[in-house]
Structure 1
Amino acid sequence: MARFVALLLAGLLINATLGAATTIAFVLLCALVATCLVTMQRARQMQAEDAGQV
């Protein structure tokens, strides 16, 4: 998670020198990646709970 935040900050720094459209696209991409990470984490947690119940 710390690596993800570091990449996000680095990307925002780079985008500070670019246009607003690029920044918006980058933020949307980061939101998509974060959503995927959270979804995968929840799926793993649910699998672990299912394995524990069996």
Structure 2
Amino acid sequence: MGSRVEFGPGAVVIGDVSIGDDAVIAPSAVVVRDVRPGDVVGGNPARSLRG
């Protein structure tokens, strides 16, 4: 897991997932794929919330 990662309440990471530095995981997100550095993800399954 990267540095300075923020997890919202109820967020879950499932499996062998890499989370980059400065990533933000939204509340109740279900992370099943790698998260790029600086990305903001949310949903079930989690996906990027940036355009």
Give TM-score scaled by structure 2 length.
0.20
User: 1 or 2, which has the higher strand percentage?
Assistant: 2
Give TM-score scaled by structure 1 length.
0.19
Tell me which of the two structures has the higher relative contact order, counting C-alpha pairs closer than 8 angstroms and 6 or more residues apart.
Answer: 2
